[in-house]
Structure 1
Amino acid sequence: MATYETILTEVRGRVAIITLNRPEKLNALSAQMSDELRQAVLAFDADDEVGAIVLTGAGRGFCSGADVTGWGRALEREADPGRRMEQAAAQATETWTDLWARVKPTVVAMNGDAIGAGLTITLGCDYRIAAEHARISMRFAAMGVMPELESTRLLPHIIGLSRALDVMLTGELIPAPRAAELGIVNECVPADRLLERAIEKASQYARIHPQTTRAVKQLVWANVFESDTEAVKRRERLAFAEAQRRPSHREAVRAFLEKREPDFYRAIREAEAAASDGGSQA
């Protein structure tokens, strides 16, 4: 496992845990932290024994957003501080939403405040849980900047247009219970149960092999903003047919007939071993 400076990683059972680890900065997102987080997500996504990921933070906050000290330096030395963002927008790079859409299921455990980018970076994740004392905020307008990371599309889709506009225009700090009512987070729990609950939810996802959960996610993301209903149905039919060819489908049917719990990971390992043996004999 790689060594990181701004995040911590561990594995419990089939659940990988990534912890943002700049507590003295309330886990403000630096370029290094973003890079290391992406590296860790991709490493766990490639690990055949990991089925889901939990993302949380160290210390009092989950993530206080972008590291504003970098903005201050930019204002001091650059005549046009917005130029860098324009240049970044022109580059065809994978966004956080693109990444979350294609990797194993990810559960966010907000152990404290999730502000600005600390919230928007999670909107493409599969499930969000907040500690009861946490606060959530789309703080961008209050900082004189615009919401980003595709949040102007995702948040209205998640909680509705009127609610999303209100949250974005006020920039207010929303208590976690209210955020759960709005649908920004899926649930809020006592702080001492947060990580336990996140691992519990991630373990539910991890029970299904990532071959299947990834395929479900990719199908949903391909269809969620699709305006062509025929295209949606076509993708579903093709994905269904492809799923029936996978070892997980055969294992699920056999387990049902044999009245036992399916073991999807074993079924995949055996299928891969058989394919490897067949290839070597050829």
Structure 2
Amino acid sequence: MAYSEILYDVSDKIATITLNRPDKLNAWTSVMEGEVRAALIEASDDDNVGAIILTGAGRGFCSGADMNNLNSLQQGASSGGPTSDSVRAVDNAIPGGLSLSNDFSLRYTYFPTVPKPIIAAINGPAAGLGLIMSLYCDVRFASDAAVFSTAFSRRGLIAEHGISWMLPTLIGPANALDITLSARKFTAAEAKDMGLVSKVFPMEGFMDEVRAYATEMATLASPRSIRVMKRQIYQAMLNSLEHSVLLANSEMPASFESEDFKEGVAHFVERRAPNFTGN
């Protein structure tokens, strides 16, 4: 599929989705939104893809919604432009095959349903929608050049697209209130201290570090195990400890009978690289 506002590349079992409006710090548009969704579907369906990296071209990750789009919303239907309702009237088909609650089937919240790991490589500024999008990725890494902001309170907006739930879940209510109410900018180092990102790497060699991590996941981890564990962890965020234990108990027999379990034992005993099939 040809894309106009993203780049899509598959190499060494890694699909890389690059937001590609570098002159606008990769500001988010409806076209970009549709293309990211399509690329995630493409990566989900590709047996040659074991991990997905989402990053930005140039010096930014994503600066948030394109201000021209926000201006059109402010003008509203009186100018013939899009309204807040029409902007949200998008195709909500789930790209992935993981069965989760409706909480993870909405606009932007659907990333966890993708059966492969999505790694946010936050190379530069991530604000507003850029920050939101990264929250729904499974793992987040930042370069030391990355700067973050929720931005919403300084635009007269509110905490959008479930960020009022996802942020406290990931970094706690105190940190979530701090960065949403103030909309202040904060560094990659502070983001790591909060638990918002797992690691911070120097900008020089940043993507090499992210790709090295993704390569290990794509080549050494069972695709079946990843599918099941993503579902377990995201379900657990919404359910009780008892439910998590019962779900694990129900999944274990199928794991023991899977081809990937047999291969997981065999490659360890034989001291060789694994050849997982996802079955």
Q: Which residue of 1 aligns with 2:223?
A: 210
Does residue 1:58 correspond to 2:57, yes or no? yes
- The structure-2 alpha-carbon separation of the partners of 1:137 and 1:118, relative to structure 1 and needing over 3 Å to count, comes to same
The aligned runs of 1:167-182 (5 Å cut-off) are 167-182=179-194
1:256 counterpart letter in structure 2 = F
Q: Is the 8 A contact 2:148 2:188 kept in 1?
A: yes
Distance 2:214 2:264 in 1: 20
- The structure-2 alpha-carbon separation of the partners of 1:250 and 1:74, relative to structure 1 and needing over 3 Å to count, comes to same
The aligned runs of 1:48-127 (5 Å cut-off) are 48-78=47-77, 84=85, 88=89, 94-127=106-139
Distance 1:200 1:95 in 2: 30
Q: Which moved more, 1:251-260 or 1:8-17?
A: 251-260
- Normalised TM-score (structure 2): 0.87
Q: Which residue of 2 aligns with 1:21?
A: 20
Q: Which residue of 2 aligns with 1:44?
A: 43
Q: Is the 8 A contact 2:13 2:48 kept in 1?
A: yes
Q: Is the 8 A contact 1:141 1:169 kept in 2?
A: yes
Question: Could you tell me which of 229, 233, 245 is aligned with 1:233?
Answer: 245
Q: Is the 8 A contact 1:205 1:213 kept in 2?
A: no
Q: Is the 8 A contact 1:101 1:125 kept in 2?
A: no
Distance 1:87 1:127 in 2: 26
The alpha-carbon deviation at position 75 of structure 1 amounts to 1.8
Does residue 1:263 correspond to 2:275, yes or no? yes
Q: Secondary structure at the match of 1:55?
A: strand
Q: Which residue of 2 aligns with 1:188?
A: 200
Q: Identical aligned pairs, as a percentage?
A: 33
Of structures 1 and 2, the larger Rg is shown by: 1
Q: Is the 8 A contact 2:6 2:18 kept in 1?
A: yes
5+ unaligned residues in a row in structure 1: which ranges? 272-282
- Normalised TM-score (structure 1): 0.86
Distance 1:178 1:198 in 2: 19
The alpha-carbon deviation at position 231 of structure 1 amounts to 2.0
The aligned runs of 1:122-141 (5 Å cut-off) are 122-141=134-153
Distance 1:73 1:82 in 2: 8
Distance 2:41 2:66 in 1: 23
Q: Which residue of 2 aligns with 1:279?
A: none
Does residue 1:146 correspond to 2:158, yes or no? yes
Q: Which residue of 1 aligns with 2:99?
A: none
Q: Is the 8 A contact 1:107 1:201 kept in 2?
A: no
Distance 2:143 2:8 in 1: 20
The alpha-carbon deviation at position 77 of structure 1 amounts to 3.9
5+ unaligned residues in a row in structure 2: which ranges? 93-101
Q: Secondary structure at the match of 1:65?
A: coil
